[in-house]
Amino acid sequence: MEVNPLSVILVKSDSKGDRLLFRYPFQIQENKETSNRARKNPYALSVVEESLQSVAVSSSNINKGVLTGLSDEVLSSLFAVKTDLCDKKFELKVNDVRFVSHPTLLQLQNEQSEKDDSGIMLINIVFALSALASHSVVRCYHDLSQRFGIILRHEEKRCSFVSEQTQRMMTAHDECTSNNGSAFQIILEKCTLANNIKKLYEDLSSTGLVNIIVNRWISLTFCLPQKAHQWHLRGQTIEPEDIDRCLLALRPYHSLLLLHPVEHIIDFTSLDSSPSLVKMLTQYSPMKNLQTLAADSDLTLSHVFELTAHLVYWAKATVIFPVCATNRYVIASNAPLHHTSPLIEKFSKAFPGLHLIKAIHEFSVPTSLHSKLDPFSKPTLQSSLVQNIIWMLQHHLLLQLHTYIEYMPTDNGPPSLKDQKKIAKTPSPRTSSVLSASFPDASRTESESGASTISEAQELMKHLNMENASFTSIEDDKQDYQEELLVDFPDEERNEIFKIPATNTPEDLKLFARLCRKGYFEGSHHIEEIMYLENLRRSQLTQLLDKFREILITYDSEDPAIAMFSCTT
């Protein structure tokens, strides 16, 4: 694959010259095969016609995922760069191979004068990649080369580690008379740095997670996300930009789901890891949201977000919605549930006496966890069912569905924001007529002398039918608050909304108008998100959906914020 390294090369350059000290993997039989090739006859004459008709064959330096065709001398001359190219990114493409590194200058400690140029050594740790590797993969390998160079610079300053290791490698090369690769084998047996490079290559090729101790002193940890996430996402290549984009959508109502036991993650962390991580892991539960986890761990929510992003980036955890009774799950579309799937045996080992196919078949249609829990069953059975679902979520066999809401007032589809009319808040004609009939114009209640005839007004009020006036006022008041709450809705939509009996209740109509104005009914927010953002109970929202079911359409879908962490994308 394009994410795996073809080779790791160590090149040095100092006052004594440049040399390729070590490369891994190396092939001992490489030069033997070239020596058996038939020699060209020096007395043979070349035919012009044959040279003109010969077709140039494109050469390749990749054979079975390993770098070939380039000698140590060629590689040494390529990567022993000048001082101007040090401490910056170095990238070179040769045929179908791309080399990336970060050349580092070291001040040798065993030299008598540190100011002299003889006390300066160039160390270049080069990664050979396929030319088809993406820019993000090349960027990650450059970052790894830079980190390794910084560690070597520190160890050289602390205990002359690089000087000692390079001297051993040079001695091994000088003692080997044949250049058949045996020097690399001797170096691997005697040099700690060579074993670190070997372990580095093996970790990158197998898991993408590097965890080595350089010189038994400094820890070098690195994650290649394009490789690290393939084991649980079944071969999908995840770019760092994808992870960053999904983590930006992380919300406090989301939850953390570890893909490994807590003990494994604690053992994997380095000695200088954050103690807050261990503190959070001790309070971990997939049934807690991140806000609750932060409160239980006595950590800030922003710090919990950072720790969650760290675990997700390192493929140690994924993001889900907290496991609760109202969650609805369905079998993932590409879940490997065939009879030869290794997950069947793995599930049986984790839960003796249970079969994966039998346990998961009930989720062939969207099923809520509440419908599976029997209130009269034993607590151990309920806990076992929850553990089964957590195991299936860890292996991406189940997909959680969320309810999304779409505002559909007419048969023409959802309204367009550009076409919505902004209606001014004006009193209705009925309200104006009632007010004019109940309270006549003040100019008519004045006598010609200018004195107010209060007695005439009182006589007029006696002749009015107060019962009818009271009834008309209630109807008009109801229409007033309806029009006030829906003043910015188009007339066609308001007419359809007024047909719903729930509009007669001010609280229901006010909640509906508020949620609709904030864009929650446009199909981009699920119920759980609306509950969190508006501080609503699930019962309030479900009752509102039931009362306005004529104009609110609901459907189930996956949360796009965490869709990247499943195998369905």
What DSSP string describes 310-348?
HHHHTTSEEEEPPP-TT-EEEE-TT---STT-HHHHHHH
Per-residue pLDDT, 477: 52
- pLDDT, tens digit, 9 for 90 and up, residues 365-410: 999 888 887 776 677 778 888 999 999 999 989 999 999 999 998 7
What pLDDT is attached to residue 240? 85
- Which has the higher per-residue pLDDT, 436 or 92? 92
Q: Which amino acid is at 142?
A: H
Q: Is the pLDDT of residue 64 over 80?
A: yes
- What does the pLDDT look like over 97-133, one tens digit per residue? 999 999 999 988 765 445 555 678 999 999 999 999 9
pLDDT for position 481: 65
The pLDDT, as a whole number, for residue 101 is: 96
Percent of the chain with pLDDT over 70: 77
Span 236-244, mean pLDDT? Answer: 81
pLDDT at 43: 63
Q: What is the pTM of this model?
A: 0.78
For residue 527, pLDDT over 80 is answered with: yes
Query: Which residues are within 8 A (CB) of 155 and not within 5 positions of it... i.e. 6 or more apart?
Result: 161, 162, 214, 215, 217, 218
Question: Once rounded to an integer, what is the mean pLDDT over residues 77-89?
Answer: 91
Whether residue 300 has pLDDT greater than 70: yes
- Distance, in Å, from the CA atom of 354 to the CA atom of 336, rounded to the nearest integer, reads 17
**Mean pLDDT across the stretch 487-493?**
83
Whole-number average pLDDT of the chain: 81
What integer pLDDT is reported at residue 425 of this predicted model?
A: 37
Contact 409, 497 (CB under 8 A): yes
Q: Region 282-295: what's the mean pLDDT?
A: 94
pLDDT of 220 strictly over 60: yes
Q: Is the pLDDT of residue 454 over 50?
A: no
Six token digits for residue 293 = 């986890």
